[in-house]
Amino acid sequence: MVKPTLPDSRTEPDGSAVIRVLSYNVRSMRDDREALARVIRACAPDLVFIQEAPRFFRWRKRAAWLAAHTGLVVLSGGATASGPLLLCSLRTTVERTEDILLPLTPGLHRRGFATAVVRIGRARLGLLSCHLSLRSDERYAQAGMVLDRLKAMDVPHAIAAGDINEGPAGPGFRLLAGELQDCWAVRPWGDEYTSTPADPRQRIDAVFATEGVEVLGCGVPRDVPGLTGDDLRAATDHLPVLAALRVPAS
């Protein structure tokens, strides 16, 4: 059943945390960055999993601009993770961060993960932002690396989100969905397709969560106050994925 609205962020009496998670490929902020900031602010996320963050000249300054204009702070990633970036709200207590570069295939773009372990309320969870390869065999191997990295974090709950570069029928996507909850499939909300904003026909961006995390809704946001179609089309060449999750207290 499609939910008309997503829950707001809150901490429950039992210490569990309801959090809003946004995954967004921002195309190195080469498009309308003011529109990009408005989209992120309208979604009111606690955590933002960015792909294609700026990686070259003054990349830290541009990441800081995005954080400042969305009321968030830079958590980890950027050029040091070859593109993936994590932003968080002030609800978040940071335990540790790690930027990971994946093996380089000659002739292909270097990939990486931005990762962190954080606490929100009494919930402790691992985070991983990823942008998988354009080549199918490398993409499948990197999907396996996502799962390995989540297990290595040794946390009770985790969220992985990013640009998978293939749809749910693809082998890498299916590998992830076989061990994690594909949040759209569990509790669809909003719209499904993320690429491209002008005529979306494929779901290549996703939010995944480990078992035990309750999915309250997930999808491309629509009918959100302050969010316009013009801004979604102007901000970047992907649509964002917004999820509301309840993470149990640890």
pLDDT of residue 3: 45
Judge whether residue 1 has pLDDT over 50: no
Determine the 3-state secondary structure of 146 from DSSP.
helix
Among 36, 45, 93, 39, CA closest to 63: 36
In a domain, 143, yes or no: yes
Dist CA 89 CA 166 (whole Å): 29
Token pair, residue 168, equals: 């749910």
In a domain, 233, yes or no: yes
DSSP E strand stretches across 132-194: 157-163, 181-182
- Residues contacting residue 169 through CB under 8 Å, at least 6 positions apart: none
Chain segment 139-185, per-residue pLDDT in tens: 999 999 999 999 999 999 999 999 999 999 999 999 999 999 999 99
pLDDT of residue 4: 61
CA of residue 23 relative to chain centroid, distance: 3
What is the residue range of 203's domain?
10-247
Count of domains observed in the chain: 1
Residue 45: pLDDT band (50, 70, 90) is very high
Average pLDDT over residues 129-138: 97
In a domain, 239, yes or no: yes
Percent of the chain with pLDDT over 70: 98
In a domain, 235, yes or no: yes
Dist CA 18 CA 122 (whole Å): 11
Q: Give CA angle at 167 (66, 195), nearest 5°.
A: 45
CATH code for the domain in which residue 27 is found:
3.60.10.10
In a domain, 1, yes or no: no
In a domain, 215, yes or no: yes
pLDDT of residue 208: 99
Q: Are 164 and 208 in contact (CB under 8 A)?
A: no
Predicted TM-score (pTM) of the model is: 0.97
Average pLDDT over residues 227-239: 98
Long-range pairs for 73-76: beta carbons < 8 A, 24 or more residues apart? 75/114, 75/116, 75/118, 75/127, 76/114, 76/115, 76/116
pLDDT of residue 5: 86
Q: How far is CA 218 from CA 12, 119, 165, 189, in A?
A: 20, 21, 18, 5
In a domain, 102, yes or no: yes
Judge whether residue 2 has pLDDT over 80: no
Chain segment 184-197, per-residue pLDDT in tens: 999 999 999 999 99
Q: Are 61 and 83 in contact (CB under 8 A)?
A: no
Dist CA 52 CA 84 (whole Å): 6
In a domain, 5, yes or no: no
Chain segment 5-41, per-residue pLDDT in tens: 899 999 999 999 999 999 999 999 999 999 999 999 9
Q: Are 107 and 92 in contact (CB under 8 A)?
A: no
